Chain A
Amino acid sequence: MRALARLVARADGRGGTALVELHGETPLLLRQTPTDGGVATVHLVGGAAGPLAGDDLRLEIEVGPGAAVRVHSVAASIALPGRAGAVSRMAVRAVVHADATLHWLPEQLVAAAGCAHLAESRIELAAGASLLWRDELICGRYGEAPGGAVVHTQVDYAGRPLLRQSLAVGPHAPGWAGPAVLGGAPATGSLLVVDPSQAAEPPMADGSVARLPLAGGPATLWTATAPDAHTLRAHLSV
């Protein structure tokens, strides 16, 4: 399946945010949900199981100057095997202008046995933009070893590289479950907080979670591993 979805938000001039474009295709459907305090809220609704290997899903988000958008999803997405040799792909491309805010807080990605999935996010932030960007990966359904999954995140702030990370799990990622990468934890994820109005707090870490101020902008990355999705979410909530 191929699908392209697009969300464009603009400040409405009265302190709120208008969604001037909101367009999806099965299985990538977008629904506006009740808004709070000037923030437009959108839910991603999976219109089919998957993604299945072979699916190519793209989502484009643009948040205009001064606008604020929050994106959730109604359920975890489960990457599943499909045609032999095929890869499923979910590409998100977001542009956030000055004084605009994007909160990307979807449910988990579950890498099921035999999947071959690439989740690829590219985010461009103008100087003065704010962002919350959460990625959570569950390696296999209960008691199951995952197929191949790569979660790639590329973020620029004011034209400068802010974050590049590519987490690979599964049979083609040597040592991914070992003590240098996930240490056997079936759940892992990160929350990127970009907030130009706040000074970054110093680094902090305990056994399986760390707060990491980044070098390329007013940003902090929370990174965590966990025994389950619930614990992971607790680590990655603001």
Chain B
Amino acid sequence: MATPSLLLLLADGRFPAGAHAHSGGLEAAVAAGRVTDLTSLEAFLAGRLATAGLVGAAFAAAAHRVAMPETVGSAHPARSARPSDAPVGSPARSGALARLDAELDARTAAPALRAVSRRQGRALLRAGRSIWSDAPFADLPATPGGAHQPLVLGLLCAAAGLSRVETATIAAYGTLTGAASAGVRLLGLDPYQVQALLVGLADACDGTAADAARAADDPPERLPAAAAPLADIHAEIHATWEVRLFAS
């Protein structure tokens, strides 16, 4: 059974999954002169939430659904729902996770973004394995580079006893906070005003998470695929830099 503290712990940027090293594409957007101040940062965050935020949250929710099959059909499972007790190495579960991994690849056109997602997945998996050693991480596909971050997050949240919508909330929230704190560092913005931006986006974040949790009931090919051309373009430009403050 999850507690509010576990939700906060997993949503915390200090959870050792390396999120602080990533700007969510903001560093390249700043370098391109497309984000210069609070107003353009707000537009960046809103667009990122509606695209990468929605897709990542939906895949985290879908992986959570795979780990907790008894909650199928409910975006708001009871707190008492427990992770599936199917043995580790369940072929059905590993097949479903491999399908999600391929579907997320197809939604991530930029190779740089695929690599970032897998790198973040590896970092999160290290943390997850050492904390929830009996979670079915072995069912993640053995893709070169590691499994995508939202899949790992979904399994990890299920192991912590979080609900599907809580899982989606952590994923959506993470796409906002990483970029927002990078904004403070890259643009020297007033941290109080940036926090006020995040407060203003809280409803949109909750709404995105609810949409993502609902979408997880759809077949994998129908999961959200919201695209952002500049995110792909910025990511590939950023990947060629020799000197950068953030890994992405």
Contact = CB atoms under 8 A, between A and B. Distances in A.
Contact of A179 (B49, B105, B225, B230): B230
A3 interface: no
Given A155-B106, A165-B109, 16 more contacts: A160-B102, A161-B102, A175-B49, A179-B34, A179-B230, A180-B48, A181-B228, A203-B112, A205-B232, A205-B236, A206-B237, A210-B110, A215-B108, A215-B111, A216-B106, A223-B229
Contacts of B236: 203-205, 210, 212
A151 to B, nearest CB: 9
Q: Interface residue tally of chain A, by bracket?
A: 35 or more
Q: Classify the interface of chain B: helix, strand, loop or mixed.
A: helix
Contact of B221 (A161, A203, A209): A161
Interface in A134-168: 152, 154-155, 160-168
Interface of B: 25, 29, 32, 34-35, 40, 43-51, 102-103, 105-112, 114, 204, 221, 224-233, 236-237, 239-240
Question: Chain A CB within 10 Å — which of B35, B47, B237 has the most?
Answer: B47
B48 A183 contact: no
A166 B43 contact: no
A179 B233 contact: no
Interface in A60-94: none
A205 B237 contact: yes
23 contacts: A155-B106, A161-B103, A162-B106, A166-B224, A168-B226, A174-B46, A175-B46, A175-B49, A176-B47, A176-B50, A178-B46, A179-B44, A180-B29, A180-B48, A181-B229, A181-B231, A203-B236, A205-B233, A208-B233, A209-B233, A210-B237, A215-B106, A215-B114
